[in-house]
Amino acid sequence: MTASSSNELPTFDGSSSQQSPEAGLQSSAAMAAAVPTTIATPVAVTEEPGLILIVDDTPANLDVISQALIDAGFETAIATSGERALKQVQLAPPDLILLDIMMPGIDGFETCRRLKAREVLKDIPIIFMTALDDIDSKVHGLELGAVDYITKPFQEREVLARVRAQMNLRHANQQLAASEARLHSILNSLKDVVWSARLHPLEFLYFNPVMEFLYGVPASCFLEDAQQWLQMIHPEDRVQVATLLEGNQPPEFLDCEYRIIRPDGDIRWLQCQAQIRSHGLEKRLRVDGIIHDVTGRKQAESELKYAAEHDSLTHLANRAYFIACLNKLLEQPRQRRQDKFAILFIDLDRFKVINDSLGHLCGDQLLIQVSKILKRSVRPTDLIARLGGDEFTILLHNVCEIEEIVTVSDRIQSELTHPIALAEKSVTVSASIGIVQDEAKYNAADELLRDADLAMYQAKSLGKACHQLFSEEMYEKAMEKITFENQLRAAIEKLEFCLYYQPILDLTSKTLKGFEALVRWQHPERGFVSPGDFIPLAEETGLIIPLGDYIIEEACRQMSLWIAQFPQMQDLSVSVNLSERQIQSRGFIERLTLAVERSRLQPKHLKLEITESLLMENSELTLSLFEQLQAQGFRLSLDDFGTGYSSLSYLHRFPINTLKIDRSFISVMAPGDSSFEIVRTITALARTLKMDVVAEGVETEEQAEYLRSLSCEMVQGYLFSHPLSDEHATQYLSNCFG
């Protein structure tokens, strides 16, 4: 190498051939343009030192070029032939090779071919150094894999510029490859499908590997034919997805959910989110997106929706869903509605008895079995719902004639007559059914259910185990009942009641033994209302509890006044009737005790009258309650005896003091008939059990004479006295003890 100025590099080999540096730079630019551009973030490229292998059979050239590269900061290795170069690269693969073409043995072209044939060496950039300047030689070299040419004689600045350009390009490619490797690693680790495609027509460009796992088919199937991807979409969702992707004006951002059917038949829910943008200068659009598997969320949503619309025990529709379906049906314009429908409102008869006696588990099993019976009794298109408790409803579609509806009702009743197995027990139930047909007057589901409920209660009142078709008369009666209930509620608040007292007498001596307190309603408009009109309603609505408390309070107060006025009444008592609901109400004994204490009345002066049915319901609890009452000094009387179903065992177990013979036996009794014998039996039974006996409803001397012959001790009835107001009862006492 000869000395040179800073502006001029020396030449070698004495060759006068020169080539513009731009030729090599253009080939470098072409290589750079061929690098994939799939990484969005640009890679910063900096010149770094590297190992450069110089292959030349001229030692002078090797020395000069090697020194120039070392001065520029590069490491160098040399080889004097192609054979040595092939061995050298195996020992230490270089970052770039400067390769002379004209060498003895194997020339540069053959050396390049052999290097590129090895997989581990093919990416090492090769720059040919040659004095050849014909196009065919250059093209041949580039075809073999060379990246550039340096023509001899060459200058140091050109050598360094071309080397630096290729080294920077190599470093850039290495960084790009590393970046792509990281990207592929990230994409391969995702649980979501990442994809890219062109639109109009649809042509997929890329899928990450999870695509095959999610769809169950190789991604190549979709890359080769996008229609196969569309065909895997559920038929009900396919048009929606195709319209979004292939529409003339697709949205810039896609967010849709659809189902696919995998080859194994499994259905998966997918959510596709994608960005649509122009693809370069082409008119076609490109879409890049992510597909999430949302099957788990959809299943959870479906389960929540099912739970919100169905009864957890029977899995029938629940009240909310039934009403929603019915309202949707009613929203249709009547003139367009083809579906004439009807509602069956079903309530099981005596379910509470079964539930309480056999336990709630058996009660639940019964409801499940009844739901199955209802399903068997109607068509699949009809809607069955459990409203709650033992109440069910059925929406019968496309029924025009009442005969069709009655046929369904009868079928249900017939199915229920068969015994139903519950664990180790078997029961038979019946149902009361209310029926409402579709009519123009109905605008809401609540109105239909209201009237069907009324019809069902009418069926219960007629003896149960039957059906009733709703009529306007039922509605009017129901409204009257509601009005009457409101008046009764207000009457209790305003204390529009008073007590009348019917004397109970010793049949032989005609002496007074006590009174039975009977409540009367002093209605401000209707006058006196019979207890038979309002007591059943009070029991049904629970108003009997505050009303019963008032009766006890008033009877105790009045009895206390009479005892203070007539000391001769120390052995007398006043009887008050207790309803089952009243005596089983929370805090009954406490309220009873408080009423007695407030009136300063001894418990022995208050006799509590109960019915036979109370003995049968929750007998153990009732027995405990009665024993508490007896321990406090209260006396118990069994009212209307002979009309219920109590047995001798109940009479023997319960602390009953008095039996009252029902008036139905007294009114028809005559020697030799059954009523007479029943009264004889009750009287004898009372004596055996050391109980008092009272005959109710005695209205004639003949009845009184019969009772004397049977040794009945006490009587009450119109023959002796009508029920008396407190004022007249006080006068009656004055006549007795004055």
Residue 336 has pLDDT above 70, yes or no: no
Count of CB atoms within 10 A of residue 720's CB? 17
List of E strands, 397-496: 420-422, 425-427, 431-437, 467-469
Give the mean pLDDT of 421-445. Answer: 88
Whole-number pLDDT of residue 487:
93
| pLDDT tens digits along 516-549 | 999 999 988 888 888 988 999 999 899 999 999 9
Q: Strand pairing of 467-469 and 692-695? A: unpaired
Q: Strand pairing of 96-100 and 51-55? A: parallel
| pLDDT tens digits along 544-572 | 999 999 999 999 999 999 999 999 999 99
Phi, psi of 530 (to 5 degrees): -65, 140
Instruction: Indicate the pLDDT class of residue 360, thresholds 50, 70 and 90.
Output: confident
* Residues 451/483, Cβ–Cβ less than 8 Å: no
DSSP state at residue 217: S
Instruction: Indicate the pLDDT class of residue 46, thresholds 50, 70 and 90.
Output: very low
Whole-number pLDDT of residue 31:
30
| pLDDT tens digits along 108-163 | 899 999 998 888 788 889 999 888 778 888 888 888 888 888 888 878 888 888 88
Whole-number pLDDT of residue 63:
86
Whole-number pLDDT of residue 98:
92
DSSP state at residue 353: H
More confident call, 356 vs 511: 511
Token pair listed for 718: 């119109």
One CATH from 1.10.540.10, 3.40.720.10, 3.40.30.10, 3.30.70.270 for 312-470:
3.30.70.270
Distance CA 472, CA 206 (A): 71
Residue 95 has pLDDT above 50, yes or no: yes
Distance CA 230, CA 242 (A): 7
Provide the residue type at 263 as one letter. Answer: P
* Residues 186/211, Cβ–Cβ less than 8 Å: no
Token pair listed for 223: 């890359």
Residue 216 has pLDDT above 70, yes or no: yes
Residue that has been written with the tokens 């207890």 in this structure: 531
Instruction: Indicate the pLDDT class of residue 617, thresholds 50, 70 and 90.
Output: low
Map residue 208 onto helix, strand or coil: coil
Report residue 411 CA to chain centroid gap. 32
Count of CB atoms within 10 A of residue 221's CB? 15
Q: How far, CA to CA in Å, does 728 sit from each of 247, 511, 573, 579, 733?
A: 97, 17, 17, 27, 9
Instruction: Indicate the pLDDT class of residue 649, thresholds 50, 70 and 90.
Output: low
Residue 250 has pLDDT above 70, yes or no: no
| pLDDT tens digits along 622-639 | 788 888 999 999 999 988
Instruction: Indicate the pLDDT class of residue 9, thresholds 50, 70 and 90.
Output: very low
| pLDDT tens digits along 459-504 | 998 888 899 999 888 888 888 888 899 999 999 999 999 999 999 9
More confident call, 253 vs 660: 660
Residue 45 has pLDDT above 60, yes or no: no
Residue 56 has pLDDT above 70, yes or no: yes
Distance CA 499, CA 551 (A): 7
Q: Is CATH 3.40.50.1820 correct for 190-299?
A: no
Map residue 251 onto helix, strand or coil: coil
pTM metric for this prediction: 0.58
Domain ranges in the chain are 21-186, 190-299, 312-470, 485-737
Whole-number pLDDT of residue 6:
28
Map residue 94 onto helix, strand or coil: coil
Whole-number pLDDT of residue 177:
78
Whole-number pLDDT of residue 235:
94
* Residues 395/383, Cβ–Cβ less than 8 Å: yes
Whole-number pLDDT of residue 623:
82
Distance CA 132, CA 102 (A): 9
The CATH architecture assigned to 21-186 reads 3-Layer(aba) Sandwich (3.40)
CA dihedral 9→13→15→21, nearest 10 degrees, is: -40
Give the mean pLDDT of 613-621. Answer: 68
| pLDDT tens digits along 687-728 | 988 999 999 999 999 999 999 999 999 999 999 999 999 999
Residue 294 has pLDDT above 90, yes or no: yes
Instruction: Indicate the pLDDT class of residue 618, thresholds 50, 70 and 90.
Output: low
Whole-number pLDDT of residue 248:
61
Token pair listed for 255: 């967010």
Give the mean pLDDT of 283-309. Answer: 90
Whole-number pLDDT of residue 735:
93
| pLDDT tens digits along 320-334 | 999 999 999 888 876
Q: 724 - beta bridge partners?
A: 501
Distance CA 207, CA 263 (A): 19
Class of domain 485-737: alpha beta
* Residues 420/429, Cβ–Cβ less than 8 Å: yes
Q: Which helix (H) or strand (E) holds 256?
A: strand 253-261
Residue 42 has pLDDT above 50, yes or no: no
Report residue 44 CA to chain centroid gap. 56
Phi, psi of 384 (to 5 degrees): -110, 140
Instruction: Indicate the pLDDT class of residue 367, thresholds 50, 70 and 90.
Output: very high
* Residues 163/70, Cβ–Cβ less than 8 Å: no
Whole-number pLDDT of residue 173:
82
| pLDDT tens digits along 253-293 | 888 999 999 999 999 999 999 888 876 555 668 889 999 99
Whole-number pLDDT of residue 72:
87
More confident call, 9 vs 253: 253
| pLDDT tens digits along 166-209 | 888 888 888 887 787 787 777 777 788 888 988 888 889 988 88
DSSP for 569-632 reads GGG-EEEEE--HHHHTSTTHHHHHHHHHHHHT--GGGEEEEE-HHHHHTTHHHHHHHHHHHHHT
Instruction: Indicate the pLDDT class of residue 36, thresholds 50, 70 and 90.
Output: very low
Question: Lowest-confidence range among 41-45, 474-478, 642-646, 699-703?
Answer: 41-45
Whole-number pLDDT of residue 549:
95
